[in-house]
């Protein structure tokens, strides 16, 4: 039995044990909540509070909300087709071609842009001019066909699937940024169901107001700056009392041309109103006609923030925004050419404010509308995180109460303690003095496993507790293999030191074999499983790695220390 490395082994074990205990029972040393230990941290209540703060509990233990939502990718493809129809019409007109009519055909999973020319002999030239400015060629996935003066671009089925998958991925990223900015702790966010279902699973432990989160996620935040069709200032902005009246003003036979939109406009409350009665009166809803496509949209947004309104009371807020360079250039060019004309801020197909252009504007603006602080912050957050590519609908919603989570914690902890107690009793009775060695290694295994979960920021779930219990069993199994091997070596007449050496050496191969095979199985669970299965796999893999240290390295160090106390040990309690 080699003793030369005993001091190093003991020092390493002590350092790792102290760090593990500190990580589990003391305040964090890194992050936003990092602080130095205080006297209160060493009391029973302080230790309990630090444990609650350090261990991140999952939805099944802490309670919270479980949402399954679907991205309406068909709406995304429909809007893409409609936008391309408008862009194709404008590109043809800019190139000098007469366009009789342009529309989007989005029936029965068919997404087509149809454009009718005034001159059938100009089909080839018009196609080239349009595809030069609009992404309607074969490379973006649109197939072209023509019949007389009618040009048709159809979106292929393969491209539909690709665009739908991209929209789902984009929606997941945007939802993730909104949830993180909202401060939801340890959320679970991932795709759900089959690939073609375009579903997203969101679990939010500890959320007490899921309705606010749902409203925040459902908001498309489609911001647009549009030209309002109206006589210029000083004439008042042209509004209409009803949608039908606004459509009739277009003189287009009751239909809305593709380069126009009729949008609802809720006028701002009179800022001079002082009585509470006036403030509570409903705002008048009117309609305005705007040009399409917009001057700029939300993709050109650089930043947005809710600030107190400069024209209203202390309870009123507005959203101040700034634009990226590309958007600022386009916005500046447009505003410079349309002095005294009216521009509207459209958010999710509603005009929030209308103002005339006093002078050229480049990189900043504001959305007024008598927002509360919470609604202004939420709207600014959705604008900063970007517009969802399509609306989402909720397919499933469950709320797990904190009492159910508390019951799960109590049951899990009780099962762990009972299992640990029975294992300790068995090891002490069956292996006597050497059983103490196994118990020390086992307790260290549990402490280091909890510390490892905290270091990696893992979320503890009920399946994760099951993984911990299974790891306890495998840790004991490793000690049983080692101790039985030592017994066999002692029966052959070997000295105690030689038997311990041979026992650890020969059992180690078997331990590595069992741990590697179990780890590989757990990796497959992690790669292909969902949230709860992944939690089980994480705790099991972490426990197996730590078990190699505690059951082999620590246990062997204890034997080395015991045998070093007597040069010629005559017996071993095992």
Q: What secondary structure, in 3-state letters, does 101-132 show?
A: EEEEECCCCCCEEEEEECCHHHHHHHHHHHHH
Cα separation, 1 vs 359, whole angstroms: 89
When pLDDT is averaged across residues 112-117 and rounded to a whole number, the result is 94
Q: What is the pLDDT of residue 282?
A: 55
Stretch among 244-258, 371-385, 528-542 having the lowest mean pLDDT: 371-385
| Domain annotation covers residue 436 | yes
Question: What is the tens place of the pLDDT at every residue in 309-353?
Answer: 766 555 678 777 777 777 888 888 898 899 999 988 887 788 877
Residue 16 has pLDDT above 90, yes or no: yes
Question: What is the tens place of the pLDDT at every residue in 207-243?
Answer: 766 777 777 776 555 778 899 999 998 899 999 999 9
Cα separation, 32 vs 28, whole angstroms: 9
pLDDT band at 247 (very low <50, low <70, confident <90, very high): very high
Residue 273 has pLDDT above 50, yes or no: no
| Domain annotation covers residue 413 | yes
Full residue range of the structural domain in which residue 54 is found = 6-60+403-564
Question: What is the tens place of the pLDDT at every residue in 25-63?
Answer: 888 876 656 778 888 888 888 888 888 888 877 777 777
DSSP 8-state class, residue 240: B
Residue 418 has pLDDT above 80, yes or no: yes
Q: Please, what is the average pLDDT of the chain? A: 82
Q: What is the pLDDT of residue 393?
A: 87
Residue 280 has pLDDT above 70, yes or no: no
DSSP 8-state class, residue 345: E
Q: How many domains does one find in the chain?
A: 1
pLDDT band at 97 (very low <50, low <70, confident <90, very high): very high
pLDDT band at 290 (very low <50, low <70, confident <90, very high): very high
pLDDT band at 262 (very low <50, low <70, confident <90, very high): very high
pLDDT band at 269 (very low <50, low <70, confident <90, very high): very low
Stretch among 63-67, 87-91, 125-129, 204-208 having the lowest mean pLDDT: 204-208
Q: What is the pLDDT of residue 315?
A: 67
| Domain annotation covers residue 370 | no
Q: Are 130 and 94 in contact (CB under 8 A)?
A: no
CATH number, residue 530 = 1.20.1640.10
Q: Are 183 and 177 in contact (CB under 8 A)?
A: no
Residue 295 has pLDDT above 60, yes or no: yes
Question: What is the tens place of the pLDDT at every residue in 459-494?
Answer: 787 788 888 888 888 888 888 899 999 989 888 888
| Domain annotation covers residue 310 | no
Residue 287 has pLDDT above 70, yes or no: yes
| Domain annotation covers residue 531 | yes
Give DSSP secondary structure letters for 3-26: -TTHHHHHHHHHHHHHHHHHHHHS
| Domain annotation covers residue 571 | no
Q: What is the pLDDT of residue 275?
A: 40
Q: Are 84 and 77 in contact (CB under 8 A)?
A: no
pTM given for the model: 0.54
Question: What is the tens place of the pLDDT at every residue in 130-142?
Answer: 998 888 877 788 9
Identity of the highest mean pLDDT range in 75-89, 260-274, 378-392 = 75-89
| Domain annotation covers residue 444 | yes
Question: What is the tens place of the pLDDT at every residue in 152-203?
Answer: 999 999 999 999 998 898 888 888 877 776 666 667 788 888 878 999 988 8
Q: What is the pLDDT of residue 402?
A: 62
Determine how many CB atoms are found less than 10 A away from the CB of residue 312.
16
% the chain with pLDDT above 70: 87
Q: What is the pLDDT of residue 276?
A: 43
Q: Please list, in sequence order, all residues whose beta carbon lies within 8 angstroms of the beta carbon of residue 93, skipping any fewer than 6 positions away.
A: 99
Q: What is the pLDDT of residue 3?
A: 55
> Residue 494 class from Cβ within 10 Å (0-12 exposed, 13-18 middle, 19+ buried)?
middle
When pLDDT is averaged across residues 369-386 and rounded to a whole number, the result is 68
- Of the candidates 29, 17, 47, the one whose C-alpha atom is nearest the C-alpha of residue 447 is 17
Q: What is the pLDDT of residue 65?
A: 81
Residue 146 has pLDDT above 60, yes or no: yes
| Domain annotation covers residue 52 | yes
Residue 367 has pLDDT above 80, yes or no: no
% the chain with pLDDT above 90: 20
Q: What is the pLDDT of residue 320?
A: 79
Q: Please list, in sequence order, all residues whose beta carbon lies within 8 angstroms of the beta carbon of residue 344, skipping any fewer than 6 positions away.
A: 225, 226, 227, 228, 263, 265, 288, 290, 351, 352, 353, 354
């Amino acid at each position: 039995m080699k003793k030369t490395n005993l001091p190093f082994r003991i020092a390493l074990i002590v350092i790792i044990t102290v760090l593990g205990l500190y990580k589990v029972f003391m305040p964090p040393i890194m992050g936003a909540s990092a602080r130095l230990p205080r006297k209160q941290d060493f009391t029973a209540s302080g230790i309990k509070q630090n444990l609650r703060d350090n261990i991140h509990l999952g939805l099944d233990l802490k309670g919270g909300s479980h949402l399954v939502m679907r991205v309406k990718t068909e709406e995304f493809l429909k809007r893409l087709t409609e936008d391309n129809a408008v862009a194709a019409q404008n590109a043809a007109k800019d190139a000098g071609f007469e366009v009789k009519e342009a529309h989007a055909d989005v029936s029965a999973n068919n997404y087509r842009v149809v454009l009718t020319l005034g001159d059938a002999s100009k089909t080839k030239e018009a196609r080239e001019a349009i595809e030069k400015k609009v992404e309607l060629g074969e490379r973006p996935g649109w197939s072209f066909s023509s019949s007389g003066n009618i040009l048709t671009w159809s979106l292929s089925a393969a491209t539909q699937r690709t665009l739908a998958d991209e929209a789902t991925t984009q929606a997941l990223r945007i939802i993730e940024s909104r949830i993180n900015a909202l401060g939801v702790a340890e959320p679970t966010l991932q795709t759900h169901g089959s690939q073609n279902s375009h579903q997203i699973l969101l679990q939010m432990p500890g959320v007490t107001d899921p309705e606010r989160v749902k409203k925040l996620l459902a908001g498309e935040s489609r911001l647009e700056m549009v030209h309002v069709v109206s006589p210029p200032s000083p004439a008042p902005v042209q509004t209409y009392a009803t949608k039908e009246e606004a459509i009739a003003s277009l003189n287009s036979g009751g239909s809305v041309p593709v380069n126009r939109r009729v949008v609802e406009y809720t006028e701002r409350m009179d800022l001079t109103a002082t009585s509470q009665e006036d403030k509570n009166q409903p705002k008048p809803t009117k309609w305005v006609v705007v040009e399409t496509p917009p001057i700029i949209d939300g993709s050109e947004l650089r930043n947005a923030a809710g600030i107190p309104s400069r024209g209203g009371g202390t309870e009123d807020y507005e959203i101040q925004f700034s634009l990226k360079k590309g958007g600022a250039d386009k916005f500046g060019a447009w505003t410079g050419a349309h002095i005294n004309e009216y521009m509207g801020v459209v958010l999710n197909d509603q005009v929030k404010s209308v103002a005339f252009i006093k002078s050229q504007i480049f990189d900043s603006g504001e959305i007024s509308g008598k927002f509360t602080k919470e609604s202004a912050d939420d709207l600014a957050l959705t604008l900063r995180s970007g517009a969802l590519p399509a609306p989402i609908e909720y397919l499933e919603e469950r709320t797990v109460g904190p009492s159910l989570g508390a019951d799960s914690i109590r049951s899990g902890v009780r099962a762990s303690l009972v299992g640990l107690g029975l294992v300790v009793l068995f090891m002490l009775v069956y292996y006597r003095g050497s059983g103490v060695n196994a118990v020390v290694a086992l307790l260290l295994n549990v402490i280091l496993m909890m510390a490892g979960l905290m270091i990696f920021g893992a979320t503890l779930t009920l399946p994760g507790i099951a993984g911990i219990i299974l790891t306890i069993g495998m840790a004991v199994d490793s000690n049983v293999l080692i101790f039985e091997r030592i017994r066999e070596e002692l029966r052959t007449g070997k000295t105690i030191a030689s038997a311990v050496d041979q026992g650890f050496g020969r059992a180690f191969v078997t331990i590595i074999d069992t741990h590697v095979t179990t780890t590989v199985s757990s990796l497959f669970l992690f790669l292909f499983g969902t949230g709860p299965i992944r939690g089980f796999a994480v705790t099991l893999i972490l426990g197996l790695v730590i078990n190699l240290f505690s059951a082999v390295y620590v246990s062997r160090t204890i034997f080395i220390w015991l045998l070093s106390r007597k040069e010629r040990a005559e017996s071993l309690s095992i």
